[in-house]
Amino acid sequence: STSAAQQSLDTESQYIDAPMSAAAAFLVLVVKDDDISIETARSVLSSTDDLIKDIKVRANHGLFTCNVGISHRAWVPLTGKPAPRELAPFQEVKGATHTAVSTPGDLLYHIRAESRDLIVEFEKILLEAFGDSVTVIDDVAGFRYFNGRDLLEFVDGTANPDGLSLPAATIVGEEDPAYAGGSYVVIQKYLHNLPAWRGQTVETQEAIIGRTKFDNVELPDASTGQKSHKTRCTIQDAEGEHDILRDNMPFAVPGLGEYGTYFIGYSRHLWVIQKMLERMFLGDPPPLHDRILDFSKAVTGVTFFAPARAFLSDLGS
């Protein structure tokens, strides 16, 4: 029926399920608080689809995707609507040894393409449109490293949901009808201590991650004592396993000794990511933290909600 067709248009998601690309950018902005800035930002948000189309056409419709997330702080001013059910500011997780810090950010642009020129061109046009209505907090250029490895040299993203389990894990449904089609997004920028990591034996590294390094085979889960990253990030309850989608990308400035992983997780339920962070930083069980953190320092942490495409374009009307 017409109304069913309309409903599926209203809840059509952003490009949450885009494949891993050769290049990505993570652009984090804060919107200034005055009325004119908010009005400008709202108008740019509403033209997201057009900005994407302009680039895609110029690129002969090659892979180019962009997802926009909006923070809790900016939600009501920018949208004039109540916030999605679980949306909250990123909650700092302070463990005995390591802390998941919470940092500023109102808008996230997660941009993916097969080449960096499209990303630069898009960001240039986007930032011109925002003018001085926003402050840029961070702009990280991610790149695919060999066959999808992170800079710790492990294949990253293997356990991601795909097929029908991808939307089931990432897209809000009837539990929050006003925001069906949207997705919670959490980002954290991690800086690695590569010399210290490379000082570990491959066996130690594999035990920390929970997979073999060369061929990416899962190691058995430890049920007591120090658990691997993979084991502590597997969230299971009576309903089964709760997956999230990770689109982590390496980034680096070798000349400055900067090597990192940009973590980005999409989830239908924000609490699932929160739980993973608690197990990593507080420990599972406390105080046994994730040993990845002894070699990777979280320097940012922000939560956003990436609403359905129609929600964004309706902001203009």
Instruction: Supply the residues annotated as catalytic.
Output: 156
Nearest CB to ligand HEM, comparing residues 229 and 269? 229
Nearest CB to ligand HEM, comparing residues 137 and 155? 155
Of 13, 37, 71, 188, which one interacts with ligand HEM (CB under 6 A)? Answer: 188
Per-residue contact track with ligand HEM, 56 to 95, x per CB under 6 A? ----------------------------------------
Minimum distance, C-beta of residue 43 to ligand HEM, in the bound complex (Å): 33
Transcribe the chain into DSSP letters. Answer: -HHHHHHHHHT---STTPPP-SEEEEEEEEE-SSHHHHHHHHHHHHTHHHHHHHHHHHTTT-SEEEEEEE-HHHHHHHHSSPPPTT--PPPPEE-SS-EE-----SEEEEEEESSHHHHHHHHHHHHHHHGGGEEEEEEEEEE-BTTTB-TTSSB-STT---TTHHHHHHS--TTSGGGTT-EEEEEEEEEE-HHHHHTS-HHHHHHHHTB-TTT-PBPPPPSSSSPPHHHHT-EEETTEEE--EE--EEEEEGGGTEEEEEEEEEES-HHHHHHHHHHHHT-SSTT---GGGGSEEE---EEEEE--HHHHHHTT-
Of 64, 109, 154, 184, which one interacts with ligand HEM (CB under 6 A)? Answer: 154
Minimum distance, C-beta of residue 290 to ligand HEM, in the bound complex (Å): 8
Minimum distance, C-beta of residue 50 to ligand HEM, in the bound complex (Å): 33
Of 28, 87, 107, 152, which one interacts with ligand HEM (CB under 6 A)? Answer: 152
Nearest CB to ligand HEM, comparing residues 54 and 278? 278
Per-residue contact track with ligand HEM, 95 to 134, x per CB under 6 A? ----------------------------------------
Minimum distance, C-beta of residue 296 to ligand HEM, in the bound complex (Å): 4
Of 77, 89, 104, 157, which one interacts with ligand HEM (CB under 6 A)? Answer: 157
Nearest CB to ligand HEM, comparing residues 129 and 159? 159
Transcribe 208-256 into DSSP letters. Answer: HHTB-TTT-PBPPPPSSSSPPHHHHT-EEETTEEE--EE--EEEEEGGG
Q: Does 234 bind ligand HEM (CB under 6 A)?
A: yes
With CB under 6 A as the rule, give the number of residues binding ligand HEM. Answer: 26
Tokens of 167: 């939307």
Residues within window 202-221 making contact with ligand HEM, judged by CB under 6 A? 209, 211
The footprint of ligand HEM (CB under 6 A) covers 150, 152, 154-159, 188, 190, 209, 211, 229-230, 233-234, 244, 246, 261, 263, 265, 273, 276-277, 292, 296
